[in-house]
Amino acid sequence: MHLGDIEKIGGEIPHPSGKVVVNYRQTRKGLQAEINLPGDVNGSFVWKGKSYALKGGSNKLDISTAP
């Protein structure tokens, strides 16, 4: 995913176990992501080649893009 000049974006998609809801916000320091998965669903979020584990429920990530 590449957000370009977009500062905030979000959405939702249906899943057999419920909804997956995402909200992303670019800041000067990096990316803030809120990802809500159905309770029995695990997953991963990949940003700039690095993978972050997600669990069912609310996941909040604050990813710095500083070197």
Number of domains making up the chain: 1
pLDDT-derived band of residue 62, with 50, 70 and 90 as boundaries? very high
Residue type, 37: L
Asked if residue 36 belongs to a domain, the reply is yes
Query: Residue 13 domain-assigned?
Result: yes
Residue 3 within a domain? no
Residues 6+ apart with CB under 8 A from 35: 20, 21, 22, 23, 45, 54, 58, 59, 61
Residue 67 has pLDDT above 80, yes or no: no
Q: Is residue 45 part of a domain?
A: yes
2: in domain = no
For residues 46, 51, 56, 60, the Cα torsion angle rounded to the nearest 10 degrees is -80
Domain, as residue range, for 13? 8-60
pTM for the complete prediction? 0.85
Of 28 and 8, the one with more pLDDT: 8
CA distance 16 to 23: 20
28: in domain: yes
Q: What is the pLDDT of residue 57?
A: 97
Helix, strand, coil % in the chain, rounded to nearest 5:
0, 65, 35
